[in-house]
Chain A
Amino acid sequence: MTVWGMVLGAYPRSRLARYTLRDRERGTLDFSQYTSRLLIIHSEIIGVQKAHGLPIVVDGMVDWHDIFRPFIMRWKNVSVNGLLRYFDNNFFYRIPVFTGEPDPLEPVWLPRIRQFKDLAEPSSLKIVLPGPFTFVNLSQNVSDLSKTELAEAITSILKSEIELVKEENVFIQVDEPLVGDRRLSKEEVEEYLDYWNEIASLSSENSAIAIYFDVPQKEVFDVVLESKFKYISVDVIDSKRRAIELLGKTGLPGHVPVLGIVDARRIHEDKLDEELLTMIKKLSKESQEIVLTTTTWLDLIPYTYALKKTKILSKFVDIVSEKLGLEKRILWR
Chain B
Amino acid sequence: MEYQVPRKFPTTVVGSYPKLEPAKQALRKIRKKQATPDELRDLFVEAIRGVVEDHLWAGVDIISDGEQTREDMVVYFAERMNGYMPGEWTRIFDNVYFRKPIIYGKVEWPEPLTVEDWKIASSFAEGRPVKGILTGPYTMLEWSFDLYYGDRREAIIDLAKELRKEIEALVNAGAKYIQIDEPALSTRPWKEEADIVKEALKIMLYGLDVKKIVHICFGKIEYILPYILEFPVDQFDLEFKNSNFRLLPYLKEYGYDKELGYGVIDVHTTQIESVDEIVEDIEKIMNLGILSPEKIYIDPDCGLKRLPREIARQKLKNMVEAAKIAREKW
Contacts and interface: CB of A to CB of B under 8 A. Distances in A.
A302 B218 contact: no
Contacts of A301: 90, 145
B168 interface: no
Interface residues of A, number: 32
A94 B147 contact: no
Interface stretch (B92-100, B113-121, B159-167, B226-234): B92-100
A321 B36 CA distance: 53
A33 interface: no
B150 A268 contact: yes
B89 interface: yes
B158 interface: no
B87 interface: yes
A21 B88 CA distance: 18
Interface in A257-302: 266-268, 299-302
Contacts, number: 64
B187 A268 contact: no
A187 interface: no
A15 to B, nearest CB: 8
B88 A268 contact: no
Interface in A227-260: none
Contacts of B268: 82
A299 B95 contact: no
B102 interface: yes
A91 B93 contact: yes
A91 B143 CA distance: 10
Secondary structure dominating the interface of A? loop
A93 B92 CA distance: 9
B63 to A, nearest CB: 28
A114 interface: no
Contact of A267 (B147, B184, B188, B219): B147
A89 B92 CA distance: 9
A294 to B, nearest CB: 16
B321 interface: no
Interface of A: 12-13, 15, 18, 21-22, 25, 65-66, 82-83, 85, 87-94, 182-183, 266-268, 299-305
Given A18-B95, A65-B93, 9 more contacts: A12-B91, A13-B89, A87-B187, A88-B188, A91-B93, A92-B93, A93-B93, A268-B145, A301-B90
Interface of B: 87-95, 97, 100, 102, 142-143, 145-147, 150, 184, 187-188, 190, 218-219, 223, 268
